[in-house]
Amino acid sequence: MDSEINTNTALQEVLNTLEIDRKKIAETYTTCYILFGLAFVLLIIGFLIRIPIIGFLGFAASGITGIVMYFQIEDTAVKYKVAYKTNVVAQALKNINESLTLTPQSGLPEYEFISSELFTTEPDRYKTQDLISGTNDKTSFWFAEVHAEYKTETSTKNGTRTEWHTILKGIVFVADFNKNFEVSTVVRPKGYGEAFGSWFSKNVFSFGNSEVVELENTEFDSKFATYSRNQIEARYILTPAMMERILDLNNKCDETISVSFISSKMYIAFPLSHNYFEAPIHSTLLDPDLLADDLSIVKFMHDIVQELDLNTRIWGKE
């Protein structure tokens, strides 16, 4: 796949053009950092020679120049980052599947994140970007980067202290089955509710209205807790083959995934620390491995349809 991209002359021309912009942005940022450093050096020298006015004037001149340059180049940097996503990443995705599209400013809507029931608390702060969508045989799928957080407020002698806690930083993957499930079935990491329950202030998914589903796969039951309001449907969805595939998928991830089957969709949450599809500023665009990490995560998401055998629709329409 990398060789196809590296021999794609149209894509290489785009990269060469963007590389000129990248160098200009990187050089300007470096100049800004030097000017900020110089501002503090001049301030210190002014005090050391006991003529603070010289220090303040030098600090102001260097600092203001650096700030003006920084804000001038920031607009160029934003355009460069958007151009990288729309002209480089989006084009490279076609090497995985022609149907794949990238919409940088879109993501997974907050209401859908909440209705997925993957997590037991509503976010107080929610960011999402880089929506990628496509089809694999019969199955439509889409995924986006999400950073969802909730806050806790504690009274202290100095006032109220607000702390932010991550619900999910990673990717949420969605596949459409074209068939409504009667109830929701949710598979979460074992101990998830117990470990964090004391923090949860707003229950979205009420454990009281759901029963724990005991499944025949002991390894699956040791890693995941499964909840559903309909035991029969839960077992119909989580066949022995599906459980094995979810375990295999989970074993390829650094952290335990969460899965839900709701309405006509399957949701999977992948906790990930890396921020994908971002244009480099201080390293070259002409690196042959430039897109390796980005394309590997897209390929991984794309292949979930095969991994979980979602095109064999035992519970859906043909």
User: pLDDT tens for residues 250-273?
Assistant: 888 888 899 999 888 999 999 988
Cβ neighbours around 272 below 10 Å, total? 17
Name the token pair of 256. 């335990």
CA distance 47 to 230: 75
Report if pTM > 0.75.
yes
Residue 222 φ then ψ, to 5°: -75, -25
Give the tens place of pLDDT for each residue, 116-173.
999 888 899 999 999 999 998 888 999 999 999 999 888 888 888 889 999 999 999 9
Match 């035991």 to its residue by tokens. Answer: 231
pLDDT score, position 149: 94
Residue whose pair of structure tokens reads 């979602």 in the numeric block: 310
- Assign 25 a pLDDT band (cuts: 50, 70, 90): very high
| Predicted confidence band of residue 310 (pLDDT cuts 50, 70, 90) | confident
Whether residue 279 contacts residue 141, with contact meaning beta carbons closer than 8 Å, is answered with no
Counting runs of H as helices and runs of E as strands, what totals does the chain give?
11, 9
**Quick one: which of 74, 76, 69, 78 has its CA closest to 36?**
69
Per residue in 180-212, pLDDT tens?
A: 788 888 998 886 554 343 333 333 444 444 678
Look at residues 159, 177, 167 and name the one whose alpha carbon lies nearest to residue 117: 167
Q: Are 265 and 174 in contact (CB under 8 A)?
A: yes
- Distance between CA 165 and CA 124 in Å, rounded? 10
Chain centroid to Cα 164, Å, comes to: 18
pLDDT tens digits for 151-163?
988 888 888 888 9
Q: How far apart are CA 307 and CA 250, in angstroms?
A: 11
Integer Rg of the chain from CA:
25
